[in-house]
Amino acid sequence: MTSNKVAFVGAGATLLWVAIWAWLTREGGPVSELFFPSPGDVLDRLIMFWSRPYIGSTLMGHILSSLSIVLAGWVLGGIVGVPLGIAMAWWTRLKWIVFPIFQLIRPVPPLAWIPLTLLWIGIGDAARIFVVFIAALVPWVMNSMHAVYSVDKLLIDAGRTLGANDRKILTRIVIRSAIPTLLAGARIALGNAWTTLVAAELLAATAGLGYVALNASRMLDTDVLVVAMLLIGLLGVMLSALMGLAARMFAPWVKNDRNGG
Amino acid sequence: MQNQQSTPKLELRNITKWFGPKDTGVCAVDNCSLAVQKGEFICVVGPSGCGKSTLMTVGAGLEQPTEGEILVDGKPAGPPGPQRSVVFQKFALFPSETVAQNIKFGLQMCGVDAKEQERRLVEQLKIMKLEQFRDAYPSELSGGMQQRVAIARSLVMQPEILLMDEPFGALDAQTRTILQEEVQRLHREHHYTVLFITHSVEEAVYLGDRVIVMSRRPGRIKKEISLPRDVVWKRGDIEVAAEHPDFIAARREIWALVREEIIAQ
Ligand SMILES: Nc1ncnc2c1ncn2[C@@H]1O[C@H](COP(=O)(O)OP(=O)(O)OP(=O)(O)O)[C@@H](O)[C@H]1O
Ligand SMILES: [Mg+2]
């Protein structure tokens, strides 16, 4: 299918889903508004809290709070994770020093760090940034490591016969050919960071979309709850799309379908 | 002065290569010696898996031989470098770099100034007929075009020695023929010293001044056949050359030697 057709089908399907939602939640319909609001109610709430504060700040304020914490944790994860992953692949000894810790951390859900974090740094932004950092760090490191491993040894041989020294081989051949995999890792890290943050906000926060959702559910305010969930989903899609865009910008040699949309 | 025997440009002396521990691993090359004179085009043929690529990677300095030594101009060759340029069977182009960046890569590594880089790049693009593909990425090129880029990337270094490992093995027949003729022409004009590995007997007879037949694994040198140099039929197209009686005789002789090894495997 051409990209035009894809966009057309996608838009059509979205409309259809909204229509089904509206039909199910219509007045006297099969789903009562107590359990799930109609699209109209959700839109009302969205517009209302866009300008008026809800538990402390407007929706925009909550969104910015969530996004800034995600970005901070994700960027920190990248700053630590990318060099670490590359170094682990390049120096086998380092890999075997660090790897055992990693294997141990990997299966622990990032949220399990919350109790410790609360103990160490309390309930503020720093605590959430730390948990997001942990969530992003693992995919950053793993993908950076595999990105280096997946570079064809033949390219290194070619570089050597063309006079490249070790440093040039690392920077110009290994890291550059690894960029697509690095970007794929960045995308996974961002996805992990986002879902972890929202969950962290459900447990320990004073602002953010997860916090809004938690409050709304305590008040049995399903309208606001669904608004928050919808925004969480939409922002997740947006972040992922931005990463796809970044991939196309920073790795233009990769065929488009691999970068995704 | 007059009687001095010329030192070979590249010499592989008593090369033995084991993969894994000696005696329990795989012996890929067993005591091979071969000398390539300056300006000579040597082809190596042999059955698949006999150690041809190993011989070349050792010759390039990419792998250490278990025994023996590599000499360039009579001196130990040392680590790999642009003096011994390699064209790989699988192209080995840098995927993240454009055609122009790939070709300039070696020049940049060797600190050639930007103006000279550009001059040599333009020259190579012209020789290899790659002008329109200057800013394309390798993934956007056909196999034949990619191999042209790889050859240009080697030639731009003005290497003293050119090592080619089945450079046309992955190409379709038409593209292969064209590139064979191009390499023949380049060699005639520039007198490169070439060690060329192939499994195509025709290719070896058409391109080589000498053809070296390797035995089945572990690879030994079975026979060396000198071919007429600078004869008219080598200057023409390969199909025309292939009809010349000398070509047919040489092909028959070499093919018989290779066949023996394949059947004995
Ligand atoms: N890195 C390696 N480790 C272990 N064995 C190897 C290695 N490289 C090559 N070999 C073995 O050495 C032998 C010779 O391999 P080589 O690639 O030199 O053969 P070749 O003549 O180039 O074959 P082909 O015509 O198929 O390219 C093979 O049996 C191969 O399995
Ligand atoms: Mg081979």
pLDDT level of residue A34 (50, 70, 90 thresholds)? confident
Residue B135 lies inside a defined structural domain of this protein: yes
Residue in B90, B96, B109 closest to A162 by CB? B109
What atom in ligand 1 is closest to the CA of residue B51?
A: 18
Residue found by looking up tokens 């037949």 in the block: B213
Residues of B at the A interface, defined by Cβ within 8 angstroms: 57, 60-62, 79-82, 84-86, 88, 90, 92-97, 105-106, 109-110, 137-139, 153, 157
User: B-chain residues within 8 Å CB-CB of A154?
Assistant: 88, 90, 92
DSSP secondary structure code for residue B145 in this structure: H
Region at B195 (left for phi over 0; alpha for psi -120 to 50; beta for the rest): beta
CB contact under 8 A, A162 and B106: yes
d(CA B197, ligand 2 centre) in Å? 8
> Which residues' Cβ are closer than 6 Å to ligand 1?
B 19, 26, 28, 46, 48-54, 199, 217
Ligand in nearest proximity to the CA of B51:
1
Residue B263, pLDDT above cutoff 70: yes
Q: Does 3.90.1150.10 match the CATH number of domain A37-250? A: no
In Å, how far is B97's CA from the nearest CA of chain A?
Answer: 8
Residue nearest to atom 17 of ligand 1 (CA): B53
CA A73 to CA A140: how far, in whole Å?
12
The structural domains of chain A, with segments of one domain joined by +, span 37-250
Q: What is the mean pLDDT of residues B77-86?
A: 91
Domain that holds residue B129: 90-158
Residue B175 lies inside a defined structural domain of this protein: no
| Predicted TM-score (pTM) above 0.90 | no
Strands B210-214 and B221-226: antiparallel
Using one digit for the tens of pLDDT, what is the confidence trace for A78-122?
Answer: 999 999 999 999 888 988 998 898 889 888 988 888 888 888 888
Strands B41-45 and B193-197: parallel
Strands, sheet with B210-214, edge to edge from the N-terminal-most edge strand: B84-87, B161-165, B193-197, B41-45, B210-214, B221-226
Using one digit for the tens of pLDDT, what is the confidence trace for B92-136?
Answer: 999 999 999 999 999 999 999 999 999 999 999 998 889 999 999
Domains held by chain B: number: 1
User: A-chain residues within 8 Å CB-CB of B110?
Assistant: 163
In this structure, the number of other CB atoms found within 10 A of the CB of residue B132 comes to 10
Residue B262 lies inside a defined structural domain of this protein: no
Give the model's pLDDT for residue A1.
61
